[in-house]
Amino acid sequence: MNAKDWQGQVAKDILVEFMADFQGRNPNLHVFSAHLHMDEETPHLHIDFVPFIRNSKRGLDTRVSLKGALAKQGFQGGTRGATEWNQWIEAEKQELSKVMEKYGIRWKKLGTHRKHLSVLDYEKQERAKEVAELDKQIEKSETALHSVKKLVDNRLERAENLAQINENLRKSNDRLHTDNSKLENAYTEAEQRHSSLSEKNRLLQAENENLRDKNAKLQSGNSDLEKRREQLQEELCLIADVQARMELEVQSFEREKRWQLPEPGSFTSAKSYCENTVKPLVIKLKELVKSLITSCASLGEQVRSLTDKVKQQALDIDWYKGKLLEQANIAEKFQEQAADLERVKLYAGADKVQEMVEAIKTIERLDSEQKRIQRSYDNRHYR
């Protein structure tokens, strides 16, 4: 039974009811103190009283007497084992058992008969019980203290481990803060770099469009030059054919008899030979030479014109080649800058880069719209 469980509560009710009728049952025992102890293992009741009698024939009318008080209540002395005191204790036990039966509890008698102890011996016995109880409590307390000490040691060890973990986390947090600061700085630089690259990319795209247009024109001009060169080549081939025919005709002058002076006859006079043979041939030769000179002059002029055109075309072709080489260098720079832009995308993220580009486009569009509105406003108010 424990003073705090339901059995202890029943015992408390029994003892309270027992004490309520104690004074009525014992009119010659003046109760001046009664204490119910529920703070120990077994609930119990301490009753302090003073036994007295009235109408005493000796001394005072009212005086203290345990034997006389118990005799007044009907407890007469008998054998040594059945004194007034023992009879009264047995009677009180019976009263207590009656109260117990009201609560459905029966007194279990173990058959033990202990002699009545004096108050001092009883107190010694109770103190011995209390000491034994205290020894048990001390033993339990020492066991609990050992458990608590072990628990405290474990908690201290865990606290030290947690402190070390906390220190490691603090250092890690400091490193993360430092890394985060570096990343923020790098991100800011990347944003600035990206803004600059985006602007350069926009300018380069515009310039690239212009260069594409120029390249298309150059390709078209180059194609026209190729066609013109082929035409000049055909004309040069024609001139070469004409020159070859003229050379053949010159050679034919040496072979054909009509361009050679015949031998004079035996009876032909020099005057007759000169008038009839030499002069007509000379006239033919003059006309032929005049025609050849005119043709040669025309051919020479054509050759000079074609030569000048070929030289100009050569210069034009070299200029176009230079422009094409320049465009190739610019295209290579575009490729490098495009590669830089891809690196920025890999570092900052393609979505972030696209978001920045869209933001720049939005700013440019808003700026353009603002300028358009300002121009419209100026045109309405300053005309």
Quick: pLDDT tens for 67-78.
999 999 999 876
**Among 13-22, 27-36, 44-53, 289-298, which stretch is predicted with the lowest mean pLDDT?**
289-298
Nearest to 40 by CA among 8, 65, 87, 67: 8
Quick one: tokens of 263? 């031998």
Task: Report the alpha-carbon distance of residue 216 to residue 226 in Å, rounded.
Answer: 15
**Among 41-55, 132-146, 147-161, 163-177, which stretch is predicted with the lowest mean pLDDT?**
132-146
Which residues on neighbouring strands pair with residue 152, listed in sequence order? none
- Please check whether residue 127 lies inside any domain of the structure: no
Torsion sign (Cα): 311, 315, 320, 324: positive
Are 253 and 284 in contact by the 8 Å Cβ rule? The answer is: no
Torsion sign (Cα): 232, 237, 238, 244: positive
Residue type, 163: A
Q: What Å distances lie between residue 154 and 31, 140, 147, 165, 198, CA to CA? A: 55, 21, 10, 16, 62
**Among 79-93, 246-260, 288-302, which stretch is predicted with the lowest mean pLDDT?**
246-260
Place of tokens 């075309």: 313
Using the predicted structure, report yes or no on whether residue 318 has a pLDDT greater than 90: no
The phi and psi torsions of 149 (rounded to 5 degrees) equal -60, -45
Contacts of 52 (CB under 8 A, 6+ apart): 28, 30, 62, 63, 64, 65, 69
Residue 302: exposed, middle, or buried by beta-carbon count in 10 A (0-12, 13-18, 19+)?
A: middle
Q: What Å distances lie between residue 153 and 27, 147, 158, 163, 167, CA to CA? A: 62, 10, 8, 15, 21
Task: Report the alpha-carbon distance of residue 14 to residue 8 in Å, rounded.
Answer: 10
Task: Report the alpha-carbon distance of residue 71 to residue 77 in Å, rounded.
Answer: 8
Using the predicted structure, report yes or no on whether residue 95 has a pLDDT greater than 60: yes
Angle made by CA atoms 214, 216, 219, in degrees to the nearest 5: 110
Per-residue pLDDT at 116: 47
The residue out of 83, 114, 145 marking a domain boundary is 114
Are 80 and 69 in contact by the 8 Å Cβ rule? The answer is: no
> In the 8-state DSSP scheme, what is residue 259?
G
Using the predicted structure, report yes or no on whether residue 194 has a pLDDT greater than 70: no
Quick one: tokens of 64? 């203290």
Are 65 and 53 in contact by the 8 Å Cβ rule? The answer is: yes
Residue type, 363: I
- Please check whether residue 150 lies inside any domain of the structure: no
**Among 98-102, 111-115, 293-297, which stretch is predicted with the lowest mean pLDDT?**
111-115
Q: What pTM, to 2 d.p., does this model score?
A: 0.31
Please give the tally of structural domains in the chain.
Answer: 2
The residue out of 97, 114, 131 marking a domain boundary is 114
pLDDT mean over 197-226: 72
Other beta carbons less than 10 A from residue 185's beta carbon: 10
Domain hosting residue 375, numbered range: 350-383
Contacts of 21 (CB under 8 A, 6+ apart): 95
Quick one: tokens of 299? 């051919």
Q: Mean pLDDT, the chain, as a whole number?
A: 78
The phi and psi torsions of 260 (rounded to 5 degrees) equal -120, 150
The phi and psi torsions of 64 (rounded to 5 degrees) equal -80, 130
- Give the strand order in the sheet containing 63-64: 29-37, 44-53, 63-64
Quick one: tokens of 271? 């005057």
Task: Report the alpha-carbon distance of residue 255 to residue 247 in Å, rounded.
Answer: 13
The residue out of 114, 139, 165 marking a domain boundary is 114
Using the predicted structure, report yes or no on whether residue 17 has a pLDDT greater than 70: yes
Nearest to 78 by CA among 64, 94, 90, 93: 90
